[in-house]
Amino acid sequence: MDLTQQAHGHALKGRDLVELTDYTTEEIQYLLDLAIELKRKQNTKEIFRPLEGKTLGMIFEKSSTRTRVSFEVGMFQLGGHALFLSKNDIQLGRGETIADTAGVLSRYLDGIMIRTFGHENVTELAKYADIPVINALSDLGHPCQVLADLQTIQEHKGALRGKKLAYVGDGNNMAHSLLLGGVKMGMDVSIASPEGYESDAEIVRQAQEIASETGSKIAIVRDAREAVENADAVYTDVWASMGFEEEQKVREQAFKDYQVNEELVSGAKADYLFLHCLPAHRGEEVSAGVIDGRNSVIFDEAENRLHAQKAVMATLMA
């Protein structure tokens, strides 16, 4: 990396990752390029341990496969240690204020990762902690996943600017971070959601403001075919995210015209990429033919959670 890129990395040291809007386009690009470099190092067995002797506290109020394994393995590969803290292990927001928890953990740890429900848990933790706080998912956003998504698209397409990303489904935390991260990197982003399941209006407003600076185009539509037309990447998520399982039957009816299947993706570019943050429900939000087809990059995407998050930790915590 050249001196300018190194300067972007240095500017990120000690900062939080609450949402990708916290960072400039150049800083996000630095993290993506570093993630690709760390992936190369891992594949060639090159030792890189900038976090020797450092510890990451991992707070989980929501269960996870990819988040826990990728952060824990990532810290190990970077030379550090990851400490798993379930909602039953600590008193976050119950017997102890978040501010006090942040103050205490700042005396023990070098970084905090949190996977939670309320986004205010992330923002308050970041406000009061003296160490970097990483949002590993909240009900409002999922920036770590989107860094891995952007890395995957960059690896397969060579660049992000000017590419079209289409998201079909619930206007949830994934849609929010994809919209914000996409326009930050100069991508055109289209989102198709049924009535009543649209993305947060304030997030859309923020994205439109960013798009006016980066030259991106945003389309918030009802018609999934319109969203996917000529797309370079097509993305979806489960119809009932964690915490909304009791709405499964209602959502199945609401989203019945929003399945990503062979007919829908026929409108995308022939070499489109299919992405999904996983876990996936074949036959619901996506057909087996699409998610298991030649355009699917879901396992590259899942692997890149490890590399993208290593880039974040190595930069913020070193």
> What is the SS3 assignment for 149?
helix
- Give catalytic residues, as residue numbers: 115, 142, 145, 237, 277, 305
Q: Is 233 helix (H, G, I), strand (E, B) or coil?
A: strand
Contacts of 83 (CB under 8 A, 6+ apart): 55, 56, 57, 58, 109
Rounded Cα gap, residues 300 and 49, in angstroms: 23
Residues 174 and 105: their CA atoms lie apart, in Å, by 28
| Greatest pairwise CA separation for the chain in angstroms | 55
3, pLDDT greater than 70: no
Predicted local confidence at residue 93, as pLDDT = 62
pLDDT tens, residue by residue, 230-276: 999 999 999 987 667 788 899 999 999 999 999 999 999 999 999 99
What are the tens digits of pLDDT across the range 50-98?
999 999 999 999 989 999 999 999 999 999 999 999 988 887 767 789 9
Q: Which residue has the higher pLDDT, 180 or 244?
A: 180
For the chain, the structural domain boundaries read 3-141+304-317, 145-301
Strand order of the sheet with strand 55-60? Answer: 81-86, 55-60, 111-115, 133-137
At a CB cut-off of 8 Å and minimum separation 6, what does 81 contact?
54, 55, 56, 75
Same fold, 3-141+304-317 and 145-301: yes
Residues of the chain above pLDDT 70, percent: 98
| Alpha carbon separation from 226 to 30, 65, 175 (Å, rounded) | 33, 33, 17
Residue 159 has pLDDT above 70, yes or no: yes
Question: Contact 98/128 with Cβ under 8 angstroms?
Answer: yes
Nearest 5°: the CA angle 267, 271, 274 is 75
pTM score > 0.85 for this model? yes
> Quick one: 3-141+304-317 is in which CATH superfamily?
Aspartate/ornithine carbamoyltransferase (3.40.50.1370)
Query: Of 246, 111, 117, 109, which is closest to residue 172 (Cα–Cα)?
Result: 117
pLDDT at res. 5: 72
Query: Which helix (H) or strand (E) covers residue 248, if one does?
Result: helix 248-254
CATH second-level architecture of 145-301?
Answer: 3-Layer(aba) Sandwich (3.40)
